[in-house]
Structure 1
Amino acid sequence: MTDQPTAERAQAGPATPSAPVFTRAAAVASCAGFVLIGALQALYGPAIPALREDFGLSPSAAGLALSAHFVGGVAGVLVFDRCYGRIGDRRLLGASYLLMAVGAAGFALAPGWPVALGMALLAGLGFGGIDYGLNQLFATGFGHRSTAMLNVLNAHFGIGAILGPAVVGAVGAEHYPAVFLVFALAGLAPLLFLRGVRDRASRPAGAAEPAPGQERRRAPVRRVGPLLAAFVVLYVLHVGVEAGVGGWEPTHLEAVGYGAGFAATATSVYWLMMTVGRFAAAPLALRFPAPVIVTVSCAGMTVCLLLASVPALAPWAYAGVGLFIAPVFPTGLPWLHRAAPGAARAGALVIAASMVGGVAAGPALGRAIEWSGVRAVPLLLGGVSALCLAAALWLARATATRRPHRP
């Protein structure tokens, strides 16, 4: 005979929290989706020579394709966030994959440059939706493993960022339309696995319903504003460092005596080490709290940037920057969700800020280099990294759990 109280507890108890946000196949497909968005973002740069020839563009005009992509990305983050919790997660992700695929295909087949820019914007809109949507779901969908899974997810972005330029280099920049079309078609594949995504926003898997007032004690209203501001500063600056090293490492290495080929290879190693660092951070995230990982990462990348000012150490120091900077983005998101669980749109704010940081890094760093010279690149970036470290230390102190006083 069935024990009625036990049966009632099984039905009304913690069954919902234990329901996974992703099936295993959907999680794997999501990682594949991040490979695709990483590749798509990295395709524009290698295609610039062919774009200039096909459309008769100046270098700055050709670079507008990536800018349009990032503008679309920021819009995609904000639109997805606006709809988050109102429309099912499957529909939002499905629409994002479709937008990215249509935009990439349209960019490949565009008859003129204005149309191409519009298609890049459309692809970026889907890119932003996928980026924010999957980061948000991974940050809340795996319980205590969320930080580790976010590092794995974002490591696949790095795989795509390495794969995209390699494909363009192998087939030739003049064949960029075919490459964009192939990636557009591949972007439809994750749609087949969306049935494995739970179709509603949810609490972190395995998390119990908080007691009344619990969230207020963990993130008092008066502290939410400064906390969000500090996370935004951390994300804007660290993405600025990431983009700054990727954009200026070759120029700095050539300025201190290395050959162009070696400088390009060293920059590829930097991106490779960032991918390796995120895979390596996944098991560490199961043993160490997020504040420790982010703070150590910021300290490590600051030291490495200072070492990069020594010409003999520069290539290896830049590789170290890639290794240390890797966990900051994916590890900071679960930390943010725990620090300010009641703050609406917190994740969207920092992800959008990170994209803005990537766009603003180029002009801002370029102006500083005009004033100080190319040899000062690692010191300039080291100063920005030191500000990241200061933000991480402040956040670690502000979010530290106070131990109860014992008389």
Structure 2
Amino acid sequence: MLIGALQALYGPAIPAFRREFGLSPSAAGMGLSAHFVGGVAGVLLFDRLYGRIGNRQLLGSSYLLMAAGAAGVALAPTWPAALAAALLAGLGFGGIDYGLNQLFATGFGHRSTAMLNVLNAHFGVGAILGPALVGAVGADRYPAVFLGFALANLPLLLCLKGVRDRSPRPDGGAGESGPVLARSLGSVLAVFVTLYVLHVGIEAGVGGWEPTHLESVGYGAGAAATATSVYWLMMTVGRFLVVPIALRCSAQTIVTVSCAGMTVCLLLAGVPELAPYAYAGVGLFIAPIFPTGLPWLNRAAPQARRAGAIVIAASMVGGVAAGPALGKAIELSGTGAVPLLLSGVSALCLAATLWLIRTTRPS
């Protein structure tokens, strides 16, 4: 919940950043970019340390880095200092994102898929509550919000005794994929990375461009903003709803149905009367892909220890790259083409999933 809230705090604080430091909109947006750069670095750094030092030390140091970075954003006297603090907070964010996802993917056996959806659903809860908190206290009081966030990290240091210092090997499960052959490993990892980059690009693309598209087809600004909030809410709801399904169905089945449903909903979003409801459906179907793909990857490629870190880092890169790439495509084709463009990307996600199922099927 805390890392979900942290990621969502920067946007509502942008007006206050601009007033306090005299920034342009693009310069103020660099705060979130610095956070994501730190996040990618944190994933890759803590992956290098994974297995060399204990899991408790990895998580504990991540909590401290995130707390220190958030306090730095609150107290920074200049914008470069605030950016450095956001980078530091992102470093801890990446360590926690990687550490918890990796531990949940390997630590719960056949329940890993269900537990990962529970974990990532609470990320969504935090992402909903963070902006609500800034809205309640006022953007000008963002230092108090970031300081409160920093303090909220510290009690987590007392809750590390339940974390095993060494992770078990991922196990296979009935109906799941088998380990891929060494000669196929590179291709499997490349397609997993592609799936994660593309689906996070869709996630960020809908979140960023849904309001613009809805306004272009006749909806008011307020209705468009509400519909976008519903989209993010449905992502959280979807992860909770898939938990009992994950105990009965394989990860491959869940990801396939999710990609197919996401593609259909994006095509329906091209119909103005259906668009707000279709975007809510996209949130529902896209929700399980990130947490469900990780245990599938761990079972399919247990010999590739760094695979989880690579796809988690790739997902962050997808979120960063989605805005400029989709913006350029919209410049060429117009705002009305948003759902069609995204449905094409979603179809590629479905094709990647079907290829992975065929390649990782047990012999």
TM-score by length of 2: 0.97
Q: Give the corresponding residue for 1:161.
A: 127
Q: Give the corresponding residue for 1:22.
A: none
* Identical aligned residues as a percent: 80
The CA distance in 2 between the partners of 1:269 and 1:252, in whole Å, is 15
> Which of 58, 66, 78 is 1:100 aligned to?
66
Which runs of 4 or more aligned residues in structure 1 lie more than 6 Å from their structure 2 counterparts after TM superposition? none
Contact 1:142 1:204 in 2 (8 A): no
The CA distance in 1 between the partners of 2:170 and 2:260, in whole Å, is 30
Gaps of 5+ in 1: 1-34, 208-216, 403-407
Q: Give the corresponding residue for 1:133.
A: 99
Q: Give the corresponding residue for 1:247.
A: 208
The amino acid of 1:185's aligned partner reads: L
1:42-81 correspondence to structure 2 within 5 Å: 42-81=8-47
Contact 2:172 2:299 in 1 (8 A): no
The amino acid of 1:219's aligned partner reads: V
> Which of 378, 389, 392 is 2:353 aligned to?
392
Q: Give the corresponding residue for 2:304.
A: 343
Q: CA deviation at 1:206?
A: 10
Q: CA deviation at 1:205?
A: 7.6
> Which of 302, 315, 330 is 2:276 aligned to?
315
For residues 302-327 of structure 1, the C-alpha deviation after alignment (integer angstroms, 9 at most, x for no partner) is 00000001000000000000000000
> Which of 106, 110, 115 is 2:76 aligned to?
110
> Which of 161, 174, 179 is 1:195 aligned to?
161
Q: Give the corresponding residue for 1:366.
A: 327
Q: What SS is found at the alignment partner of 1:196? A: coil
Q: What SS is found at the alignment partner of 2:161? A: helix
Q: CA deviation at 1:202?
A: 2.1
The CA distance in 1 between the partners of 2:54 and 2:66, in whole Å, is 19
Contact 2:170 2:299 in 1 (8 A): no
Contact 1:38 1:159 in 2 (8 A): yes
The CA distance in 2 between the partners of 1:42 and 1:89, in whole Å, is 26
The amino acid of 2:70's aligned partner reads: A
For residues 75-133 of structure 1, the C-alpha deviation after alignment (integer angstroms, 9 at most, x for no partner) is 00001100000000000000000000000010011000000000000000000000000
The amino acid of 1:199's aligned partner reads: D
Q: What SS is found at the alignment partner of 1:343? A: coil
The CA distance in 1 between the partners of 2:232 and 2:252, in whole Å, is 24
Q: What count of residue pairs does the alignment treat as equivalent?
A: 359
The CA distance in 2 between the partners of 1:205 and 1:294, in whole Å, is 19
Is the counterpart of residue 379 in structure 1 residue 358 in structure 2?
no
The CA distance in 2 between the partners of 1:189 and 1:76, in whole Å, is 21
Q: Give the corresponding residue for 1:28.
A: none
The amino acid of 2:23's aligned partner reads: L
The amino acid of 1:115's aligned partner reads: A
Q: Give the corresponding residue for 1:225.
A: 186
Q: CA deviation at 1:299?
A: 0.5
The amino acid of 2:114's aligned partner reads: A
Q: Give the corresponding residue for 1:259.
A: 220
Q: CA deviation at 1:218?
A: 2.6
Gaps of 5+ in 2: none
The CA distance in 2 between the partners of 1:182 and 1:164, in whole Å, is 11
Contact 1:142 1:205 in 2 (8 A): no
The CA distance in 2 between the partners of 1:177 and 1:202, in whole Å, is 41
Contact 2:43 2:309 in 1 (8 A): yes
Q: CA deviation at 1:191?
A: 1.1
The amino acid of 2:142's aligned partner reads: Y
The amino acid of 2:150's aligned partner reads: A
Q: Give the corresponding residue for 1:13.
A: none
TM-score by length of 1: 0.87
The CA distance in 1 between the partners of 2:145 and 2:192, in whole Å, is 36
Q: Give the corresponding residue for 2:57.
A: 91
Contact 2:197 2:317 in 1 (8 A): yes
